[in-house]
Amino acid sequence: MKRNIIFPVLLCAAGIVFCGCENKTSADVTVTQDTSAAAITADITSEDAENIAIADAGINSSDITSIKVSRDNENGKSVFEVDFFDASNEYEYEISAETGEIISKSMEVRDAVQTVPAETSGTAPLDTTTVQPAVTESTTTTAAPVSVSANAAVTSAKSITEAEAKSIAFENAGVKESDVEYINVKPDRDDGRDIFDVEFYANGTEYDYEIDASDGKVLSADKELENLKIPKSTEKQSGSKITEAEAKEIAFADAGISEADAKRIKSEFDRDDGKEIYEIEFYYNNMEYTYEINAADGAIIDKEIDRD
């Protein structure tokens, strides 16, 4: 009788021990899963975003002339925008701040933008294809950190200085620097090319120039004149209209060019905003000159000089 009581008690004790071990194992598995999920959803840093973009572009960090990283919200998702330059290319990346996946990328090469199929290799050509970010694993890279500040201005290499750009504009305008009352020079990009915008005032006249930063060529010139006196040779009697020949003489005198040296000369009488005007156009030394001259008094209404 005593034997029958002891055996069930032993079986029950063994069952309790076994159940306790099984519960402990299940708890351990749950903790491991939670830790893994936390690791997956951790955000990457701005430095990680730089490294991912540089590695994907397949260039050395030492070749980068400037880089800018900013964080933004795109369609409810946090992203890093990474913009950087090397000697001749501009790169733009959008990278998921949550996973490190590349959402979009593009590269501009001087005067044209190349769009090609994207690849996963670090040296693959760039495109503007949108990529859906993954949510279960993060992207890592072994590229070295970039030494350029993330907030640095995005500029590319130039061959001439701001001072040289100013001198070129003054010489073209025939203005002495000592006569200049105000000047503003700033680097810019236009049609994929580096330029200097040079704006200055002298002797009551405003000048605007675009200078090619690579070779110093004058790409465009604009001059707004105030209180311009008509050359004496073309002064007229009050109430009379100037002739077409006089209008051309005014334009050539202002440009400092002899009519004999000019090419492809065109002149046309027209009306603009109720005014009678002469439109004078001619070419000299690879530059195109365009004038609008008031037919009533010979005043220069507008003047443009562009490289042909």
pLDDT the model gives residue 128: 44
The number of beta carbons lying within 10 Å of the beta carbon of residue 74 is: 13
Q: In this structure, what token pair is assigned to residue 208?
A: 């605007």
CATH number, span 158-227: 3.10.450.40
* Angle in degrees, CA 218, 222, 223, rounded to 5: 125
Find the farthest-apart pair of alpha carbons in the chain and give their distance in angstroms, rounded: 146
Helix runs in the chain, H state only = 2-41, 46-57, 162-173, 244-255
pLDDT the model gives residue 219: 92
Q: What are the residue ranges spanned by the domains of the chain?
A: 39-154, 158-227, 230-303
Q: In this structure, what token pair is assigned to residue 79?
A: 């992203």
How many CA atoms does the CB half-sphere of 175 hold within 13 Å?
A: 24
Decide whether 39-154 matches 230-303 in CATH topology: yes
Rounded to an integer, the average pLDDT of 146-168 is 63
CA-closest candidate to residue 95, choices 47, 59, 62? 47
Report pLDDT digits (tens) over 190-229.
888 999 999 888 888 889 899 999 999 999 988 876 544 4
pLDDT the model gives residue 155: 41
d(CA 97, CA 135): 11
d(CA 53, CA 293): 55
* Positive or negative torsion for Cα 228, 232, 234, 237: positive
d(CA 306, CA 308): 6
pLDDT the model gives residue 89: 85
Tokens 């003489």, located at residue: 249
d(CA 168, CA 172): 6
Rounded to an integer, the average pLDDT of 153-169 is 75
CATH number, span 39-154: 3.10.450.40
Domain 230-303 has CATH 3.40.720: no
